[in-house]
Structure 1
Amino acid sequence: MKPEEFNRFVEKGELGPLYLLYGDEPYLVERAVKRLLDRVVDPGFRDFNLNVFYGNECKGDEVFSAAQTLPMFADRRVILVKKAGELNAAAQEILLPYLQDPAPSTCLILQAEKIDGRKKFFLDFKKRGEAVEFKRPYENQLGPYIRDEIRAAGKRIDPSAADLLGILVGTNLQELASQVEKLCIYCGNKEVIGMDDVRAIVSDTKVESVFEFTDAIGGKDLAKALRMLTSLFRDGEVPIRMLGAVARHFRQLWQVRELLDRRVPSSELGKATGINPYFLKKVTDQARNYTVGELRVIFEKMLELDLAFKSGGRSEVLFERFVTEVCTAGRSGR
């Protein structure tokens, strides 16, 4: 079952007895669990009809027994097993018979980040119940995701503003949800959220600084790039996150550079790359600063930098060296 289908069924109240909610995006998994709980269990009787277990701690017979217990003062009870991917083999073996004949008055929810889909327990669960995987959206999916979130809040957002918000905040959906909430409050009775609204709300966050940092590197503004780098490290920004933002920006530069080399008209660059018109001119201007060969070398250096970070290298020194090399590349030959 896809997340969209799950949401529709929950909204309609078409609920089953077995749910496996998992994936690499914890915010979406948590939200799905909450939606299910809110739909199944009356808050006034939640203390009587909700049992929460943890897969790395519980025994199978505890879960089995609770799942067979009748609800009190309600039609249904919920058994929620968090960290279900960590259920040991013995617990899985005990719970297997329950999957064949689940109690109709119980909703058993397994919540996990990762599961071993080869295990008989999870294979049977998927056959007998509903399995929903929540994946972290790719960067090019953030615009539609944001528009859906804004629509759910009763407003609309200009597509360019949605893209800008996605670029500034990135794929951290918890942070995105927070920014969407701030935007809706900031706009008050205003029905359509625009670019200025996004900049007004997001400009105070660290993500705006990361955005300026990547822009400075792309424009080969060494002084500003180093200044921004120092500021980001002082504010506790994570080096891997910063490198990810740089990689994203340079992927766009490479994309545009190749199109420019193929003599693609400027009027068609936006359509060919999917880059928001608001940013296209600046990206195109920056792309002219590099050759494809130079961009290839830069990506090789980014890979080296990523490996150095993960092996415990001195992040600030390594990043400063990288920024200096990128911003000064090709100067002697121009």
Structure 2
Amino acid sequence: MGIYLFWGEDDFAIAQAVKKLQDRVLDPSWIQFNYHTIPGDQPQATVDALNQAMTPVFGLGGRLVWVVESTLCQQCPEDILAQLQRILPALPETAHLLFTSSKKPDRRLKSSKLLEKYAEIKEYSPISPWKTEELVNQVKQVAQEIGVKLTPRAIELVAESVGNNSRQLWNDLEKLRLYAEQQKNPLDLDIIGLLVNSNTQNSLQLAQSIRNGNQALALQLIAELISRNEPALRIVATLVGQFRAWAIIKLQIEAGEKDNKVIASAADISNPNRLYFLRQELQNLSGKQLLATLPILLELESSLKRGGEAVATLQTKAIELCQLFR
């Protein structure tokens, strides 16, 4: 028996997790009898899933019932909750019940608390682009799963280039694996630069160019990102996260805080050792300057969500932001 809740906005990562679950639970010869997907927007989705899960397995393997984009942890009528309370503890050993959702579970709901008791819950949300250590660890993990060996420098470059795009990460590492079939040594920087496209690296470079007041470079990077179909709101999310972290670090330093662990915790940085370099980068800036970027970025995000043209809106606000640091 297995009950699972996979949630988050990284739909590709969720699809990969579901594939692993399918491979583990289902017998390929009996998959058409023992595998069921149910759209979560159907009124009786949860009830239908429970009924299917209680059905005996045909042939070999287990039974997997998947409720796609379930609303169970956003709203749950009392009659359905009662059925969940009755059936979840009594599922057969061969039954595996999976709920997936792009939305975060509302932990105040009784249905969410019930799943917390019985289900294996995993979050699949994109890693924030500025959390470089987590991005590097993700590259290491996926590279190991795919079976491609990279040098430490190559791993860092892949993380910088791909960022939190898990679909591109898997595709690029699979491409590298095929290339490496004829190679004995781990792949290094030279081949990464040829085979891996860079998106998030430029988003972070955009933040740095704005921080340096370099308008020409900022406008060039915006044009490159949009030409590569990088979503404008994702670019803004990277900028917000980066300038927020910089502002917190600088304000902590100006307040007299000397403990790097305290500053790193406040800025949501997992490796306090990075503070040595960040202190140097922010040496000639003030907390007031960095704080002033946040209202502008908020206006930028709001304008894009109201339908503003991406390139013109980004360029206008980038110029405004660069002027803060000139």
Stretch of structure 1 that moved more, 252-261 or 92-101 = 252-261
Q: Which residue of 2 aligns with 1:326?
A: 321
Tell me which amino acid in the other structure corresponds to 1:230. A
Q: Which residue of 2 aligns with 1:176?
A: 169
Tell me whether 1:102 sits opposite 2:91 in the alignment.
yes
**Per-residue CA shift, 1:21-79, capped at 9, x if unaligned?**
33443333322222121111111210011122122215254333322222121142222
Q: CA 1:214/1:50 → structure 2, altered by over 3 Å: closer, same or farther?
A: same
Q: Which residue of 2 aligns with 1:198?
A: 192
Q: CA 1:184/1:257 → structure 2, altered by over 3 Å: closer, same or farther?
A: farther
- Give, in whole Å, the separation in 2 of the partners of 1:230 and 1:77: 49
Tell me whether 1:38 sits opposite 2:23 in the alignment.
yes
Q: CA 1:78/1:285 → structure 2, altered by over 3 Å: closer, same or farther?
A: closer
- Give, in whole Å, the separation in 1 of the partners of 2:249 and 2:187: 29
Name the SS of the counterpart of 1:299 in structure 2.
Answer: helix
CA contact (8 A) 2:212 2:325 kept: no
Q: How many percent of aligned residue pairs carry the same amino acid?
A: 21
Name the SS of the counterpart of 1:297 in structure 2.
Answer: helix
From 30, 43, 58, the equivalent of 1:72 is: 58
CA contact (8 A) 1:143 1:159 kept: no
Q: Which residue of 1 aligns with 2:263?
A: none
Tell me which amino acid in the other structure corresponds to 2:49. V
Tell me which amino acid in the other structure corresponds to 1:101. A
Tell me which amino acid in the other structure corresponds to 1:108. L
Cα deviation, residue 303, structure 1: 2.8
Tell me which amino acid in the other structure corresponds to 2:122. E
Cα deviation, residue 116, structure 1: 3.4
Tell me whether 1:25 sits opposite 2:19 in the alignment.
no
Tell me which amino acid in the other structure corresponds to 1:123. K
CA contact (8 A) 1:20 1:126 kept: no
Tell me whether 1:126 sits opposite 2:116 in the alignment.
yes
Q: CA 1:191/1:248 → structure 2, altered by over 3 Å: closer, same or farther?
A: farther
User: 1:105-254 residue pairs with structure 2 within 5 A?
Assistant: 105-114=94-103, 115-127=105-117, 129-136=118-125, 137-138=127-128, 139=131, 140-188=133-181, 189-202=183-196, 204-207=197-200, 209-210=202-203, 212-250=205-243
Cα deviation, residue 161, structure 1: 3.0
Tell me which amino acid in the other structure corresponds to 1:83. E
Q: CA 1:100/1:195 → structure 2, altered by over 3 Å: closer, same or farther?
A: same
Q: Which residue of 1 aligns with 2:69?
A: 83
Q: CA 1:45/1:233 → structure 2, altered by over 3 Å: closer, same or farther?
A: same
Report how many residues are paired.
Answer: 305
Larger Rg: 1
Q: CA 1:92/1:255 → structure 2, altered by over 3 Å: closer, same or farther?
A: closer
Tell me which amino acid in the other structure corresponds to 1:124. L
Q: Which runs of 5+ in 1 are unaligned?
A: 1-15, 265-270
CA contact (8 A) 1:17 1:103 kept: no
TM-score for both structures, normalised by structure 1: 0.74
**Per-residue CA shift, 1:149-180, capped at 9, x if unaligned?**
11223344333432332232222222222222
Name the SS of the counterpart of 1:157 in structure 2.
Answer: coil
CA contact (8 A) 1:147 1:156 kept: no
CA contact (8 A) 2:148 2:173 kept: no
From 290, 294, 300, the equivalent of 1:299 is: 294
Cα deviation, residue 321, structure 1: 2.6
CA contact (8 A) 1:155 1:191 kept: no
Name the SS of the counterpart of 2:71 in structure 1.
Answer: helix
Tell me which amino acid in the other structure corresponds to 1:26. D
CA contact (8 A) 1:240 1:309 kept: yes
- Give, in whole Å, the separation in 2 of the partners of 1:126 and 1:259: 37
CA contact (8 A) 2:53 2:65 kept: yes
CA contact (8 A) 1:83 1:112 kept: yes
Query: RMSD of the TM alignment (CA)?
Result: 3.6
- Give, in whole Å, the separation in 2 of the partners of 1:25 and 1:149: 15
- Give, in whole Å, the separation in 1 of the partners of 2:63 and 2:143: 32
CA contact (8 A) 2:26 2:34 kept: yes
- Give, in whole Å, the separation in 1 of the partners of 2:235 and 2:170: 21
Name the SS of the counterpart of 2:172 in structure 1.
Answer: helix
- Give, in whole Å, the separation in 1 of the partners of 2:8 and 2:322: 39
